[in-house]
């Protein structure tokens, strides 16, 4: 009987230890998730800034030498 109580006590200590160990790991994973969610939000904002129409127009003008055509250079093509 004493052996059963001793083994049961050891099992209880082991289970509590594993529980604390897994709780600690869960906390670390939740912190990592929160950091990644914050980074994702920042990246979404940055992507929105990179894709604005004025920025694209400026890049087309500065890097590709493009410009808005004057009215005489615009030709309408009929839709078939």
Question: Contact at 8 Å (CB) between 55 and 49?
Answer: yes
When pLDDT is averaged across residues 51-61 and rounded to a whole number, the result is 91
The structure's pTM equals: 0.57
Max CA pair span of the chain:
103
pLDDT in tens, 45-54: 999 988 899 9
Give the residue carrying structure tokens 């939000």: 41
pLDDT in tens, 19-53: 999 999 999 999 999 999 999 999 999 999 888 99
Half-sphere exposure of 9 (CA within 13 A, CB side): 6
């Amino acid at each position: 009987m004493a052996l059963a109580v001793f083994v049961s006590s050891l099992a209880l200590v082991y289970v509590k230890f594993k529980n604390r160990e897994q709780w600690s790991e869960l906390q670390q994973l939740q912190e990592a998730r929160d950091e990644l969610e914050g980074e994702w939000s920042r990246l979404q904002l940055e992507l929105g800034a990179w894709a604005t129409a004025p920025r694209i127009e400026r890049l087309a003008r500065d890097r590709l030498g493009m410009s808005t055509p004057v009215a005489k250079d615009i030709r309408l093509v009929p839709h078939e």
